[in-house]
Amino acid sequence: MITVNFADHMKKEPEGAEILRPNGSGDHLFLYFPAPMKYWRGEEKILTKRHACILLGPRDAHRFCGAPDFINTYIHFTASEQEVERLSVETNRFFYPACFEQLNQLALEIKGELLTGGELHREMIHAAMLRLLVLLRRSAASAGSDPLKEQLEALRYEMLADCSQAPSVSELCARMCMSRTAFYEAYRQYFHSSPKQDLLRVRMEKAAVLLTNQRKTVAAVAEEVGFHSAEHFTRSYKKYYGQPPRR
């Protein structure tokens, strides 16, 4: 479990204040700078841009001060090596995540749980820290990402978010300004599947949940997940799950 030792949110330090830990802090440290800061990495002096984030390991030396305003959100936390390795967030590197507001809000929630100590607050803190680190990991992975992949991800989300409405392949290709062959090749390269396979998966998963409601008929479920025929839905469901939907 990830344990937070101390956290503060949008802490403003007096002018001229400086943080200096040549041997690290002894625990992991997440920092968010809403305003530019002066930061030293060894002999290298960095002037960060706004909304910079950095994750430091227990022995990572760090020194920083305001430029000129000193405002930071920080979380000192302890996590097992297995946990850190599994999340594989790079340390001692600045990120400029688009989700900085979410990260800052999570830090505020963590501070609140830490100070009030409500029921199961350790579990709440652990969950919030996991989300924060995963968001940071995703931001690092998307830095300098392929614009084509981003467009395809947006199109794929739109297609799967409402599985009752299935756009044709021609519509998808037109949206991407790609030929059918190029579209299929790019889609499979990024997602290791096809639009038809992804749409069927989401429809079947949603149908399996809807069928647990005894007030729902098979025909109603079929229509809700985008099948125009209950017979077609039944055949598809049986092929996917190995048993008919009524069972």
**For 147-196, how does the pLDDT look when each residue is reduced to its tens digit (9 = 90+)?**
788 889 889 999 999 998 888 889 999 999 999 999 999 999 989 999 99
Q: Is residue 246 situated within a structural domain?
A: no
Tell whether 138 and 151 lie within a shared domain. no
Return the pLDDT at 247.
80
Containing structural domain, residue 203:
147-241
Residue 210: which of 199, 202, 221, 200 has the closest Cα? 221
Q: Are residues 211 and 137 in the same domain?
A: no
In the predicted model, residues of the chain with pLDDT beneath 70 are 142-145
- Structural domain count of the chain: 2
Residue 103 CA neighbour count, 13 Å, CB half: 28
Beta bridge partners of 38: 47, 65
CA-based nearest residue to 9, from 27, 37, 42, 33: 33
Residues 191 and 112 both lie in one domain: no
pLDDT of residue 85: 77
For residues 7 and 65, membership in a common domain is answered with yes
CATH code of 196's domain:
1.10.10.60
3-state secondary structure of 119: coil
Residue 82 belongs to some domain of the structure:
yes
User: For residue 157, what are its two tokens?
Assistant: 């989300």
| Residue 37 falls inside a structural domain | yes
Residue 18 near residue 71 (C-beta atoms within 8 A):
no
